[in-house]
Structure 1
């Protein structure tokens, strides 16, 4: 099949490369020529393990252009993968979705053959059949589901393991309203043996949000229980090991620590809160999920002050800046509020991360960035914020360590505190 991908950010780059690997011809579309030049030479515009190799392997099936009209005319289906940033109230900003829909619609006005438009970006329930359909129909002069296809196919990617998530998914969700769009998606995913759920488009959109909101809820719940366990001298890991054995509950995401970050969980929970609020149904549980997550990283600083009550002039080392290992993504990283609090307390910060320093420097240009993890250990205290594997190889003997991610080696021979254990 011939597919166009609008947007070469995280979702677009991964989706396009994986569709090419499955034997499809893929045209990447973006307004940034630099990103497209990278793709043409087999390099990913975003960091994800294995993605460069996948692009390079499939260059014979891949092209890249800034010409949206050309891409849509030459393909059978278009996946919208543009960004949906947050508004100040937590709702999602749909300007890029609207612009992409109008651009597609203008081409569909002149295109005679059937074309399916698939929403891959994460949007709240009702977006695809609402503003997207409206903009497509207004720009094309045609009717969705009769003259062109429209569908939702949410992604469930984890940064650092996105390729595995594409090729070995738990499930594939296809939101469709017409048989031809369903056929397009079923053809694309014909070789997959996982459960395939076919739903109405708004249901597919909601599945994505509820999935992320529930996982975020498990994390905040684990942290709230972890805080209680610490006061009682109970190991929270043992508690959740027992709780997770219940088949109704499942052990995944019950890891206490300093909370969740990244591009999905915080944004998606806030968007669902905003949508519920607009419907007159303030979601008390989800509001608490966010509140716990915002408070949790500051507990690391509070624990540090138990050992060093006055941080002014102290050199505090920070291990990890990315929101999770195996990515350079610092969006909503727990390092941001922690370092912000350290700076308020007058501490000097020396930070290290294997991948994320360049991005983090734009937020905190005034702090010192170490060239190795070993340099950080020379500080008055060390905070562990991201559980990179290389931090397991360090010698923490004699160091004051406040651990937010449960790195076992850090407790050996050190003055050690875990945030929830």
Structure 2
């Protein structure tokens, strides 16, 4: 019952099905049963309250009951990166073995988790080995394509539904579950479905890193990267999405999935050199522009820097692989004093200290600040009263790490505005 599991469960409840959410964490189950989410995602809290009231969804920490009482089981556990970049499948295996041990009749196991190619075969094997008596079952790949911050909309209005299975019965069952959703359905082999998920995320990461690397050249030669990408995006073969330069991608998907795909390629003696470069550019993008901005400011040492937005993107509290964390670490090494703001996310404990303080209001955050670094583009910052906020600052530098602020308007107000390849 993490991000994917809760979202999936609530969406199926919204589609009219009776849903049970299983997690071995009893405190999480109690919290969900009381209508409280352990993460922030717009709209899900309202849906949770509605479907608890209508009894379309319930939660349990009893795997025996959950497995035996349901013929369709969605597997939504995490697959974190191992130290070598591979996806850690220990939680997937644990669930598969629970299903095998407690199976009492036919089960359809749909793998929502992002898993390496050929994991469906392994799940079938783990279930079969754990069975105490033979029962029929199918394992299907049904990857999710959710964007954090808009997961509810994406689930109800997906671009496509991918079903990886060799079983007609399993495919027909999943089609029935999704029958209320108007989206094309692509049925493939399980391996292909697993590959589609990884290939999709790796391609989106590639678009981001391509533009980010291009922004460095634009910064050098005095070309506005935002104008360049606007012109590129008008070409329907390219499109405008994921073409905005910034300080790099983060979150739970792109970094992890890129590593896992690179690991799979290496295991098969194939070099994905483009994806290797994508990861390299992303890992260096924030530090590249920090060096540029440090020169503009005349040094970060003992300067007070306001960090706006610490989640990896707006409308989420997710800090996994967030570029803001690397930026703050860099600034602290430079002996800067940090004042931090985010509408939802909270500073991790390892960053809390004498030289880092989080504030509830923008005015307090910017009080006496020499410079601002925008790390995630919450609407609170895009629509802020910058004329009023300027009056509380010590100096007037704005470093726009997402190219979302109006540089001309800010310059007219007396700010020194610098974006990403956006002079």
Correspondence for 2:361 = 372
SS of the equivalent of 2:239 reads: coil
Residue pair 1:128, 1:152 contacting (<8 A) in 2 also: yes
SS of the equivalent of 1:296 reads: helix
Correspondence for 1:123 = 115
Q: For residues 405 and 207 of structure 2, what CA distance do their matches in structure 1 show?
A: 23
- Asked if residue 406 in structure 1 is aligned to residue 398 in structure 2, the reply is no
Correspondence for 1:4 = none
SS of the equivalent of 1:297 reads: helix
> 1:282 Cα shift?
2.1
Q: Which stretch shows the higher mean deviation, 225-234 or 167-176?
A: 225-234
Correspondence for 1:165 = 154
Q: For residues 190 and 381 of structure 2, what CA distance do their matches in structure 1 show?
A: 44
Q: Which stretch shows the higher mean deviation, 211-220 or 409-418?
A: 409-418
Residue pair 1:300, 1:402 contacting (<8 A) in 2 also: no
Listed as ranges, the matches of 1:93-172 within 5 Å are 93-108=88-103, 111-112=104-105, 114-129=106-121, 131-140=122-131, 147-172=136-161
Residue pair 1:80, 1:119 contacting (<8 A) in 2 also: yes
> 1:410 Cα shift?
5.6
Residue pair 1:376, 1:382 contacting (<8 A) in 2 also: no
> 1:409 Cα shift?
3.8
Q: For residues 375 and 400 of structure 1, what CA distance do their matches in structure 2 show?
A: 17
Aligned with residue 261 of structure 2, among 272, 287, 297: 272
Residue ranges of structure 2 left out of the alignment (5+ in a row): none
What are the Cα deviations for residues 385-414 of structure 1, in whole angstroms up to 9, with x where unaligned? 111111121316461111101132465121
- Asked if residue 88 in structure 1 is aligned to residue 83 in structure 2, the reply is yes
> 1:141 Cα shift?
5.6
Residue ranges of structure 1 left out of the alignment (5+ in a row): 1-7
SS of the equivalent of 2:350 reads: coil
Residue pair 2:407, 2:418 contacting (<8 A) in 1 also: no
Aligned with residue 181 of structure 1, among 170, 177, 183: 170
Q: For residues 116 and 26 of structure 2, what CA distance do their matches in structure 1 show?
A: 30
Q: For residues 376 and 192 of structure 2, what CA distance do their matches in structure 1 show?
A: 35
Aligned with residue 244 of structure 2, among 245, 255, 259: 255
Residue pair 1:300, 1:403 contacting (<8 A) in 2 also: no
Q: For residues 137 and 2 of structure 2, what CA distance do their matches in structure 1 show?
A: 26
What are the Cα deviations for residues 350-407 of structure 1, in whole angstroms up to 9, with x where unaligned? 11111112xx232301111122122232311111111111112131646111110113
Q: For residues 306 and 20 of structure 2, what CA distance do their matches in structure 1 show?
A: 45
Q: For residues 164 and 89 of structure 1, what CA distance do their matches in structure 2 show?
A: 34
Correspondence for 2:180 = 191
Structure 1 length normalisation: TM-score? 0.93
What are the Cα deviations for residues 318-371 of structure 1, in whole angstroms up to 9, with x where unaligned? 1110000000000000101111110111111111111112xx232301111122
Structure 2 length normalisation: TM-score? 0.93
Q: For residues 293 and 17 of structure 1, what CA distance do their matches in structure 2 show?
A: 34
- Asked if residue 329 in structure 1 is aligned to residue 329 in structure 2, the reply is no
Correspondence for 2:51 = 58
Q: 1:243 to 1:409 in 2, by over 3 A?
A: closer
- Asked if residue 316 in structure 1 is aligned to residue 321 in structure 2, the reply is no
> 1:35 Cα shift?
1.3
> 1:264 Cα shift?
0.3
Listed as ranges, the matches of 1:361-400 within 5 Å are 361-366=348-353, 367-377=356-366, 378-392=368-382, 393-395=384-386, 397=390, 399-400=396-397
SS of the equivalent of 1:206 reads: helix
Correspondence for 2:11 = 18
Q: For residues 403 and 300 of structure 1, what CA distance do their matches in structure 2 show?
A: 10
Q: For residues 300 and 242 of structure 2, what CA distance do their matches in structure 1 show?
A: 33
> 1:42 Cα shift?
2.3
Q: 1:394 to 1:333 in 2, by over 3 A?
A: farther
